[in-house]
Amino acid sequence: MKDPLKIGLAGLGTVGVGVVKILQHHSDLISKRAGRPIQIIAISARDQGKDRGVDLSGYEWVKNFSTMSNHNGLDLVVEMIGGAEGAVKDFVYSSIKNNKHVVTANKALLAHHGADLAQLASDNAVSVGYEAAIAGGIPIVKTLREGLAANNITGVFGILNGTCNYILTEMRETGRDFEDVLKEAQDKGYAEADPTFDVDGIDAAHKLTLLTALGFGVKPDFGALSITGIRDVSADDIKFAADMGYKIKLLGIAKRSGDKILQRMEPCLVKKTSAIGNVEGVFNAVCVKGDFVNEVLNVGPGAGEGPTASAIVADIIDIARGNVPPMFGVDAKTLQHASWADANDIQSACYLHLEVKDQSGVIADITSVLKNHNVSINKFIQPGFNDNGTESIVMITHKGQYKDILAGMIALEKLDSILTKPKHLRVEEI
């Protein structure tokens, strides 16, 4: 058997402890699969004295994780601290410069600096493994970079945040509003005390940025992404969508649109009966469309100790085997700046939700505005009075130019009979 691969772990939170557990528990199995033993040499975390429920006594304790980047006894460092800038970024950069492989779950770092890191890793002949950064335990990096390497990828889309999917599922099943479900999720420890990254779509957008880079061979470009989270999705929207045969999901979408790429993160309506519509609770799902394979859907746990550590150890095993494909599936030098499609050019059906005064002629006024903006109605319901005495009108449009629908929304808002800002969500046909 070859020499062991010697590794250092920076960060011993939930995921770090999971990695230790797997490497201890499956040490023989992993040695056989990797063709060489994988040895934890050094570990680092803020609190050395804390009982983490695993035996850490055989490992060298490193006070400052940054110093692992030039530790002579290490071939690979696992970064499990997080953050796109500062000491963690410096640690990853200097580890690569010192010819150490890096495995990380740090989606923010990669979404902001991925192209640069891919070039640096290539220049230093090391690998940056990041399977754990996208959709936790789902092996989507391997799927896109290796399993589907024969295909021209035409689209990648998915449910990339378990917290949002849990909240939307719970809202639908119980009829409760966003704030109420979020609070309960926080009390139970499912959602972070500061939920911003999750519910505003940023965490999922980091992941989509990487999926787009992998799928289309372009530089990760987080700044180019249009991001809308789930705060404005109401219990009513979820109920009205259900009445018309749909569920609302926070979807990350990247697809070819002519010679451009359309990339968006937003709550969308999907058919209740669709495969992705049936991915519920904390689960994640990523669907890839390729010209020869047609469509592949991967569903699984997107977070948590076991799934995330499983993805990290898979990367370590790959590196131990010497399987080191380019970070985004093509030589870093050939990664292109993407040409992004304009949202105005999207062809889409939309869900519209209007709160109106209950008076004669309201529907005539609304349909007249929509007609003037080339918006054609496919489904229409008037579910009844709301608690505050207003009336809701809900529609699904036929597929049309998104810019026409946006213009129609602006014109509708000016009508006297429309009481609140009209709401629209795209219907994604998948």
Smallest gap from residue 162 Cβ to ligand HSE (A):
3
Q: Which of 88, 128, 303, 317 binds ligand HSE (CB under 6 A)?
A: 303
| Residue 270 β-bridge partners | 247
| Residue 342 vs residues 270, 314, 398, 401: alpha-carbon distances, Å | 22, 38, 20, 11
Q: Are 208 and 228 in contact (CB under 8 A)?
A: no
Between 10 and 332, whose beta carbon lies closer to ligand HSE?
A: 10
Q: Give the residue with the Cβ less far from ligand HSE, 39 or 165.
A: 165
3-class DSSP state of 89: helix
DSSP string, 58-70: TSEE-SSGGGGGG
Helix, strand, or coil (residue 338):
coil
Q: What's the closest the beta carbon of residue 302 comes to ligand HSE, in angstroms?
A: 5
- Closest CB 250 distance from ligand HSE, rounded Å: 10
What phi and psi values does residue 313 have, to the nearest 5 degrees? -65, -35
| Nearest to ligand HSE of 158, 408 (CB atom) | 158
The three-state secondary structure class of 297 is strand
By CB under 6 A, tell whether 302 contacts ligand HSE.
Answer: yes
State in angstroms the smallest separation of the CB of 201 from ligand HSE: 11
Token pair 């530790």: residue: 71
How large is the angle between the packed helices 162-174 and 235-243, nearest 10 degrees? 70
Beta bridge mates, 263:
254
**Site mask, ligand HSE, residues 153-192, x = CB under 6 A?**
--------xxx-----------------------------
> How large is the C-alpha radius of gyration of the chain?
24
Strands 128-129 and 101-104 come out as parallel
Three-class SS state of 244: coil
Owner of token pair 């499956």: 26
Q: Three-class SS of residue 393?
A: strand
User: Could you tell me how many residues of this chain bind ligand HSE (CB under 6 A)?
Assistant: 7
Smallest distance, Å, CB 280 to ligand HSE?
A: 14
- Asked if 198 interacts with ligand HSE (CB under 6 A), we say yes
Given the complex with ligand HSE, which of 181 and 393 has the nearer CB atom?
A: 181
Distance, CA of 426 to CA of 429 (rounded, Å): 9
Nearest approach in angstroms of CB 113 to ligand HSE is 18
Which residues between 38 and 67 bind ligand HSE (CB under 6 A)?
A: none
- What token pair was written down for 45? 């975390």
- Using CB under 6 A as the binding rule, whether residue 428 contacts ligand HSE is answered as no
Q: Which is nearer to ligand HSE, 201 or 422 (CB)?
A: 201
CB of 71 to ligand HSE, least distance (A): 28
Closest by CA to 139, choosing from 293, 330, 288, is 288
Residues within window 361-400 making contact with ligand HSE, judged by CB under 6 A: none
Q: For residues 48 and 26, what is the distance between their CA atoms, to the nearest angstrom?
A: 25
The residue among 162 and 290 lying less far from ligand HSE, judged by its C-beta, is 162
Q: Identify which of residues 120 and 299 has a Cβ nearer to ligand HSE in the complex.
A: 299
Residues designated catalytic: 207
Count of alpha carbons within 13 angstroms of residue 146, beta-carbon side:
11
Q: Which residues bind ligand HSE (CB under 6 A)?
A: 161-163, 198, 203, 302-303
